[in-house]
Amino acid sequence: MSRMSEADVLAHQRRIKGIGPEQGHFAPTSSKYRNVKVTKDGQQFDSKLEARRWQALQLMEKAGEIRDLKAQVKLDIRVGNFLVCSYIADAVYIDCVKNCLVVEDCKSKASRTPVYQLKKKLVKAVLGIEITEIYSA
């Protein structure tokens, strides 16, 4: 096992925190869940899966299968007058066949964190909305 010098430890901590002595900041090496941000038609998506799903939903809207398609919709979860937390859905739309509201979130196995799972349960319990998860292959 090798030992790190104090200077190596400090440099490592700066890299993790994104602080660099020369430029003031280091560029991030990779994202938290190893997703790749994508820009399509001038719109930025957090992952390739989310971008592909958005394109599929747009086609479904043009075909008349869904309507009122919206991206990155913020849902506030309140108990009484107290804001507990907010949840941001990747896509929200009305399913024309079932005539119901659909809230979607694109997920990888790594992004199904305990915080996300808790928010999903809160959205169901407080708002009565079931989140539909779209998984990566």
Structural domain harbouring 67:
33-135
In this structure, the answer to whether residues 110 and 50 fall within a common structural domain is: yes
pTM attached to this predicted model: 0.71
pLDDT at 71 over 50: yes
Q: Write the CB contacts of 92 (distance below 8 Å, at least 6 apart in sequence).
A: 68, 69, 70, 73, 101, 102, 103, 104
In this structure, the answer to whether residues 81 and 115 fall within a common structural domain is: yes
State residue 135's pLDDT score.
86
In this structure, the answer to whether residues 111 and 46 fall within a common structural domain is: yes
pLDDT at 18 over 90: no
Residue with structure tokens 């592909």?
52
In this structure, the answer to whether residues 122 and 108 fall within a common structural domain is: yes
In this structure, the answer to whether residues 1 and 15 fall within a common structural domain is: yes
In this structure, the answer to whether residues 77 and 95 fall within a common structural domain is: yes
Kindly report, residue by residue over 96-130, the tens digit of the pLDDT: 999 999 999 998 887 788 999 999 999 999 999 99
Instruction: Looking at the chain, list the stretches that DSSP marks H as alpha helix, in order from N- to C-terminal side.
Output: 6-17, 48-62, 114-122
